[in-house]
Amino acid sequence: MAKKPLGSTFTDVLKTFFLGRQRATLSILEEEQVQSPYRTMLRNFREKWSAMLGVYMFLAIFLAVFILPIFFPLDTQFQDPTQQNTRPTFSYMKYDKALQGNVASIDGGSVFGVGVDRDGKLYQWGTLSAKLQKMPPADKRYVQASAGLDHAVALDADGKVHTWGNDRFTLNMIPPELSSRKVKQVIAGHQISIALTEGGEIYVWGNSNLISIPVPKDKQGTFTKVVANTTLAAAITGNNELVILSSRETPFSYIPSEIQGRVRDVDLTERSAAAVTTDGRIYVWGGNDYGVMDIPAHAQGRAIAVSAGRGHFVALLDDGSVVAWGRNNYKQTNVPKLKNIVSIQSSYYQNYAVDKNGRIHTWGLKGYLMGTDQYGRDLFVRLLTGGRVTLTIGALAVIISAIIGIIIGSFSGYYGGKTDMFLMRLAEVVNAIPFLPLAMILSAIIGSRISETGRISMIMVILGLLNWPSLARLVRGQILAAREQEFVTAAKAMGITEMKIIFKHILPNVITVVLVNLTLSFALSMLYESSLSYLGFGVNEPNATWGNMLYGCNDSTVMSLYWWRWVFPAIALSLCTVSINMAGDGMRDAIDPKSIGR
């Protein structure tokens, strides 16, 4: 049996394409043999650098959107207004090196941080607005600083309060009563600021319409510490009792009775509270979101301090170690191996720990590779998941159109006559139906009655059902030319059935032309889906596609101020479609080298 030359089968072509050419010593007779069409096509394709670049670009995008979401999963229900429209950066916890080994106070805000060294110098880092960059006088000696949503508060050695950053909602109007009192603690919260005097009095200023923090008159003057979240505050009195400062009853109000009179420390997430008692035990109450009630067993009886972020708690133990539990979407509970820690500070999604030598240790959210959108969602994660949806819709739509187009085109080209007339007129009717108006009408009529999965399926089916006519005409033309060749006549003479002749003998000889068409149709289907989503009739929020990510940027303010929200999805969609078209053009030129000169 004669040995087939390398590259004579389609399997050899695939091996050569992905694994490279295999060098083999051929005999004189083998060298004189005519190369197979597959091998010739592959050689022409590989010699076209733009086609290979397109293939590599598409493979990189494909692998990224289908593999990386395993490591960066998308939580479609996640929203956080404190993180909205933040620019790409990894500087949230990139503190000044002068603080290392010399820190006296440190705190994290929504997207920035503040700190004070032992010499009383004030520092800040992260994403800083123009107002945040206008820091308090440098000639003061500061002892504490606190960072909030978009403003900061600092306390100097004389007990005076300084504030900077957002000055709306009277945030810059420090209560006049504080001018005659010495303050020992300040808090920059969510559109509010809080000060605790050495006399145990609490003063609150800022957006009182959004957040109301009433201070009981019978408790005023007894407080030793105060903490706050975005809706209320909590304070510890001199006799170790805990008081919730809120104008209405909330889950925070149900303080465990056994801790009253024994509270050493307290802090608040958005939906729960945690307190450390004098015997080192930790108590959590309120909402049981993200497993905040699952306190590490080895921490009980050993805790000396607690701190909280948006949805997680961090506790300092008596041996200088640190434990964390709760929400972990930004690795904020993945505590590094720490020892000799003397203080902890957690806020939002950042964590700071200071050891006995004054060295700072951080973990949690450092920033975003591609920034966030209007709901505070990570654009990089949404871009990956959105790309997977967009590519899947495009691929399945092409598969549907390919099945229909190949079958109809094959029958039309092989049988001819009335069959050809009927099928081609049907193709013309379908081709006359405009895709975008039809999809928009169907989406408006039945879109709200079906699930999001059903909507995605509907888009794929419509794309597939309307895109087959061009492929059918192409297959018909190729079949018409191939059915008159000798191998078809020989197959008929051997009694082979017509179905086998069409799909086993003729179609494999024209499949390369079909592949070129499908490649270009794939890019077109992706653009159709993105266009539909961009117009608001495709895949809906909170599910992500490249199209609806761009739809959320259909605003002049977003285009000018939040460039990262539209630049990255546009680049991803452009690179993907361009790479597919480059590969398709290269495949077309490889099949028909004469087309290069035309």
CATH of the domain at 442: 1.10.3720.10
d(CA 350, CA 365): 5
Residues 514 and 425 in one domain: yes
d(CA 533, CA 547): 5
Domain termination site, one of 367, 393, 411: 367
**Cβ–Cβ contacts within 10 Å for residue 471, how many?**
24
Residues 7 and 52 in one domain: no
pLDDT score for 104: 93
* Higher-confidence position of 179 and 588: 179
When pLDDT is averaged across residues 317-335 and rounded to a whole number, the result is: 95
21-73 per-position pLDDT tens digit: 555 555 545 544 445 566 777 777 788 888 889 889 999 999 999 999 999 99
d(CA 438, CA 444): 10
pLDDT score for 32: 42
Give a yes or no: residue 221 inside a domain: no
Residues 340 and 269 in one domain: yes
366-413 per-position pLDDT tens digit: 999 999 999 999 999 999 999 998 888 888 888 999 899 999 998 998
Residues 422 and 540 in one domain: yes
**Cβ–Cβ contacts within 10 Å for residue 437, how many?**
9
**What's at 371, amino acid-wise?**
G
Give a yes or no: residue 202 inside a domain: yes
φ and ψ at residue 469, rounded to 5 degrees: -55, -45
Residues 479 and 394 in one domain: yes
199-220 per-position pLDDT tens digit: 999 999 998 887 888 999 989 9
Task: Choose among 482, 472, 542, 477: nearest CA to 509.
Answer: 482
Residues 429 and 490 in one domain: yes
Give a yes or no: residue 77 inside a domain: no
Give a yes or no: residue 254 inside a domain: yes
d(CA 527, CA 550): 12
Give a yes or no: residue 220 inside a domain: no
Owning domain of residue 10 = 1-21+35-45
Least confident of 43-47, 84-88, 352-356, 493-497: 43-47
| Residues whose CB is less than 8 angstroms from the CB of residue 548 and which lie 6 or more positions away in sequence, other chains included | 386, 533, 534, 538, 539, 540, 541
When pLDDT is averaged across residues 481-507 and rounded to a whole number, the result is: 82
Q: What is the count of structural domains for the chain?
A: 4
Tokens of 506: 């003729």
Task: Choose among 408, 407, 384, 433: nearest CA to 572.
Answer: 384
The burial class, CB within 10 Å (0-12 / 13-18 / 19+), for 134 is exposed
- 334 three-state secondary structure: coil
Residues 410 and 553 in one domain: yes
Residues 429 and 498 in one domain: yes
Residues 13 and 106 in one domain: no
Residues 436 and 518 in one domain: yes
Task: Choose among 551, 522, 527, 523: nearest CA to 435.
Answer: 527
Residue 306 is part of a domain; what is its CATH number? 2.130.10.30
Give a yes or no: residue 196 inside a domain: yes
243-299 per-position pLDDT tens digit: 999 988 899 999 999 999 999 999 999 999 999 999 999 999 998 888 999 999 999
Residues 112 and 123 in one domain: yes
d(CA 393, CA 539): 10
d(CA 529, CA 523): 10
Of all residues in the chain, what percent carry a pLDDT higher than 90? 53
Residues 395 and 341 in one domain: no
d(CA 356, CA 255): 33
DSSP class of residue 378 equals: B
pLDDT score for 448: 66
Mean pLDDT of the chain: 86
When pLDDT is averaged across residues 208-235 and rounded to a whole number, the result is: 90
